Amino acid sequence: MSIAYLNGDYLPLEEAKVSPLDRGFMFADGIYEIIPVYASCPFRLVEHLQRLAYSLGEVSINNPFTTDEWASICHTLIDLNGGGNLSLYLQVTRGTPLIRDHTFPHNETPPTVFAMVHAMTIPTASPQDNQGYRAITLADLRWARCDIKSIALLPNVLMRQQAANQNATEAILLKHGNAVEGAASNLFIVNDGVIITAPLGPDILGGITRDVIIELCQQLTLTVEERSIPEAELRNADEIWITSSTREVVPIVMLDDKPVGQGKPGPFWQKVAIQYTQFRRQLCGLEPL
Ligand code: PDD
């Protein structure tokens, strides 16, 4: 049985309960993080906690903990759940006032803090295991502050389900003529040997994996451009990848039922995926493969 954290207590996940008046339940008024844990070692923990602090600040929810206090909760939860490869979920909402009212509750209302872990399957860098990933394109239905990791995910949920209904692993979102990111991932394309990803700003979530991929490309002396990706460029790309904490870097081989490049994982994806595997193994003190 998995152990969760709720407002200071560690308890079985099934026993973790919040009030229906919680601002998260009423208004989706909260922020979350997902942190991959490899061999009990949380990956880029400080960066995830910095993004959590940023998102909380942008919506004026008090950050209940320092980075060290958050780290201690994360490590305790990992230990209580037996360690291993996990995805660690953190959520902070604007707390539980006594009435439903759109305006912020009284300053003294403490935020609701919840955390849990799930088992995580580690992706592989083998082209054989990555042959089948399809994506569709959809108009981006979301709001104007996609840089905030808000728990208000209804547009993402609807778009991701539309992709799933078409046997696709992700919806790639189009906004003002540009491809911005996936419904739950960042987007990279490769064209003529150059790796391109949409720039940081309010149209995308600043993915922690996105940053890692950019660093790894630089280590591999590959050229990376952070700039807008016009829809036509997406459709003509030699390679398309999506990236996220739980999926690392995934090659998309079909876009809207048309093959991407040769219709199989490309050579740039392969290099970067291998580098990613080695990098996270090294960070967790594991031998290179
Ligand atoms: N999603 N963009 C969006 C809209 C996302 O929801 C995510 C992650 C990313 C990638 O961010 P990162 O590399 O930091 O995981 C980009 C998580 C995994 C989720 O909601 O399940």
Domain ranges of the chain: 3-119, 133-283
Instruction: State residue 107's pLDDT score.
Output: 84
Report pLDDT digits (tens) over 131-152: 989 999 999 999 999 999 999 9
Instruction: State residue 37's pLDDT score.
Output: 97
Percent of the chain at pLDDT exceeding 70: 100
pLDDT at 288 > cutoff 80: no
Backbone angles phi, psi at 30, to 5 degrees: -170, 175
Catalytic residue among 149, 258, 264, 271: 149
Q: Is 198 in the pocket of ligand 1 (CB under 6 A)?
A: no
Q: Is 181 in the pocket of ligand 1 (CB under 6 A)?
A: yes
Contacts of 69 (CB under 8 A, 6+ apart): none
175 is catalytic: no
User: Which residue has its alpha carbon closest to ligand 1 atom 3?
Assistant: 184
Domain 133-283 fold is D-amino Acid Aminotransferase; Chain A, domain 2 (3.20.10)
Q: What residue spans of the chain are helical by DSSP H?
A: 23-27, 45-58, 67-80, 154-165, 208-219, 231-235, 267-283
For residue 184, how far is its CA from the centre of ligand 1 (angstroms)?
Answer: 5
For residue 245, how far is its CA from the centre of ligand 1 (angstroms)?
Answer: 7
For residue 143, how far is its CA from the centre of ligand 1 (angstroms)?
Answer: 16
Q: Is 87 in the pocket of ligand 1 (CB under 6 A)?
A: no
pLDDT at 196 > cutoff 80: yes
**How confident is residue 160, by pLDDT bands cut at 50, 70 and 90?**
very high
Domain 3-119, CATH: 3.30.470.10
- Tell how strand 223-226 and strand 194-197 pair up: parallel
3-state helix, strand, coil in the chain (%, to 5): 30, 30, 40
**Residue 220: alpha-carbon gap to chain centroid:** 24
Q: Is 186 in the pocket of ligand 1 (CB under 6 A)?
A: yes
Rounded mean pLDDT, 178-194? 98
Instruction: State residue 137's pLDDT score.
Output: 98
Q: What's the CA gap between 9 and 59, in Å, rounded?
A: 25
Backbone angles phi, psi at 163, to 5 degrees: -65, -45
- Residue owning tokens 């209302």: 109
- Residue owning tokens 């490590």: 75
Report pLDDT digits (tens) over 102-132: 999 998 899 999 999 999 999 999 999 989 8
- Tell how strand 112-119 and strand 3-6 pair up: antiparallel
Kindly give the number of the ligand 1 atom that is closest to the alpha carbon of 209.
13
Q: What's the CA gap between 283 and 38, in Å, rounded?
A: 9
Rounded mean pLDDT, 211-234? 98
- Specify the amino acid at residue 243: T
Rounded mean pLDDT, 161-170? 98
Rounded mean pLDDT, 43-51? 97
Q: What is the dihedral of CA 281, 286, 287, 289, to 10 degrees?
A: -40
For the chain, what is the mean pLDDT?
97
Instruction: State residue 209's pLDDT score.
Output: 98
For residue 11, how far is its CA from the centre of ligand 1 (angstroms)?
Answer: 27
Q: Is 76 in the pocket of ligand 1 (CB under 6 A)?
A: no
pLDDT at 225 > cutoff 80: yes
pLDDT at 227 > cutoff 90: yes
Q: Is 209 in the pocket of ligand 1 (CB under 6 A)?
A: yes
Instruction: State residue 284's pLDDT score.
Output: 80
pLDDT at 286 > cutoff 90: no
- Of 147, 173, 186, 200, the residue with max ligand 1 atoms within 8 A of its CB, to mutate for a pocket test, comes to 186
